[in-house]
Amino acid sequence: MPKQSSAVTNDVAFGFLPTDKKGRIFSFSDLILVQVVVGLSAFGLLTGAYTGSMLGSTESLAATLFGNAFPMFLIAPIILFFARYGIDTFIGFRSSLGYKGAQAFFFVFLVLTLGYIAIALFMAGEALVELAVWLNMPSFFTSPGTGTPFFSIFLFAITFLITVRGPAAIKKFNLFAVPAFILFLVGLIAIIVFGQHIPALKSLLPAEPFETNSRSLAIALEINIGLGFSWLPYLGQYSRLAKNEKHAFKAGFYSYGVIVSLASIVAALSTLIAGSLAPASWMMPIAGPYAGLIGLLLLTVANVGAAIFLMYSQAVSFKTLFPKKTWLFSMGTTIPTVFLLLSATFYNAFGSFIAVISFIMASLGGIIIADYFFVKKQKISLRHLYDTEGAYTYWKGVNPSALVAITVSILVYWGLYNPLTFNSSTLFLYMSAGIPTYFAALISYYVSAKYIFKYEVDQVSSSIVLNTNEPATTLISKGEI
């Protein structure tokens, strides 16, 4: 077996099986470094950029900090679940969604990941167009309409070829990608702080505000809330490797709720200074031609690194759920990204995309928190999480209480705000949509699980849900997993 195939197989098995004590190798600092790689790339930058295009500096700071941190505060407790049991996201969510419900959630994750890969690569493509202009290349490469899709698809091919080779190739590339983004961000901060830009920020006006300031604030806040909730599927991927629950919780919150917020703030201020949503167009106006050129190269490498991370994460998750599929087939599930790179349509609709994600992840976040902490009261059967005909079958593999909560969430979110048309109710201007949706899902799930469907597994006194402290290796050796 080729080395990369063997490494992928190990990762699939490692992702599927519960982590034993030997596998819990990540300290607090390890978790911070691993988890910020994706959040600090295109998504944090673009969220901040949209905020800075709608709001002034003071309001941008408020919307970014609250919008990212508060949703993470609401969903971060679920990190304790994954850290305690050493299980991955799509295994752990079986307890609240059912076995087939968790599989359906994977396809939501797949759509989210395809969108994130496209955003990272399109931003990198924009950076290469700016480089092409600097190099005085032919108009095909310097025109945003042709050059950006061309470079984006070219970078997709490079990303695919690196990722398909497995963990060893990815590790080598990330030796450049991770430092590249850190240098990019630190350099941008230094230029803003020491380059006489700070005094001018209070007088700068946003480039694309809505008709009223309250509407701009509400929509900018919702985009940031969407980013905060969007980390839900990723919370189980690394916290399961934490040495203890305390480190896992703190690292998850600081990574996605605090550090990503700082990157978004830098992006918002850069947008105000440069007057442009596109991070690739910030470099020259803010940093000058030569430092700007270095910034464009770093931005490109960093976003390709993020795309590789996301592509591998999706392919491994797919093969974990469908182990009979080949690695190449699993990698092929990322190919639809190319259709999102053919034009700027999807990239320019990032605000709507992240708001729809806000609705989906806020709903699921409320369901999962309600299930683990309030319905099952942190008593989960590891054995039944792996027995697909076990206690978490519910109704034909789907938990009806989750369906009830999702239905209520649809009514609440879309009644408050339509992210596709930007139409909203008056209440949206005062309370956003994602956060009320989270609480609507949490409450409706709790009521449904405890008082309507009342499955035995949701009754804490049931012997089925008695917590087990047996290590994963013991359960495996007994044939219970």
pLDDT of residue 12: 62
Across 434-460, average pLDDT: 94
pLDDT of residue 480: 44
Q: Is the confidence at residue 13, as pLDDT, over 80?
A: no
**18/74 Cα distance (integer angstroms):** 25
Q: Is the confidence at residue 473, as pLDDT, over 50?
A: no
Q: Is the confidence at residue 445, as pLDDT, over 90?
A: yes
Residues 347-378: tens digit of each pLDDT: 999 988 988 888 999 999 999 999 999 999 99
CATH number for region 22-352: 1.10.4160.10
| Cβ neighbour number for residue 326 with a 10 Å cutoff | 10
37-46, 274-283, 468-477: least confident range = 468-477
pLDDT of residue 477: 43
Q: Is the confidence at residue 225, as pLDDT, over 80?
A: yes
| Cβ neighbour number for residue 374 with a 10 Å cutoff | 15
Average pLDDT along the chain: 85
pLDDT of residue 66: 94
pLDDT of residue 250: 93
| Cβ neighbour number for residue 135 with a 10 Å cutoff | 10
| Position 421 confidence tier, pLDDT thresholds 50, 70, 90 | confident
Higher-pLDDT residue of 3, 188 = 188
Across 215-240, average pLDDT: 90
Residues 47-68: tens digit of each pLDDT: 999 999 999 988 999 999 999 9
Q: Is the confidence at residue 414, as pLDDT, over 50?
A: yes
**87/223 Cα distance (integer angstroms):** 30
| Position 30 confidence tier, pLDDT thresholds 50, 70, 90 | confident
Q: In the numeric block, which tokens belong to residue 47?
A: 């969220």
pLDDT of residue 6: 64
pLDDT of residue 466: 44
| Position 5 confidence tier, pLDDT thresholds 50, 70, 90 | low
Q: In the numeric block, which tokens belong to residue 407?
A: 């239905």
pLDDT of residue 197: 62
Cβ–Cβ under 8 Å, residues 144 and 129: yes
Using a pLDDT cut of 70, give the percent of the chain over it. 88
| Position 45 confidence tier, pLDDT thresholds 50, 70, 90 | confident
**353/46 Cα distance (integer angstroms):** 12
pLDDT of residue 336: 96
Total-model pTM: 0.87
pLDDT of residue 187: 79
Residues 86-142: tens digit of each pLDDT: 888 888 999 999 999 999 998 888 988 999 999 999 999 999 999 999 889 999 999
Using a pLDDT cut of 90, give the percent of the chain over it. 46
| Position 242 confidence tier, pLDDT thresholds 50, 70, 90 | confident
Tell which residue, 448, 373, 377, has the closest CA to residue 407: 448
Highest mean pLDDT among 108-117, 149-158, 304-313, 352-361: 149-158
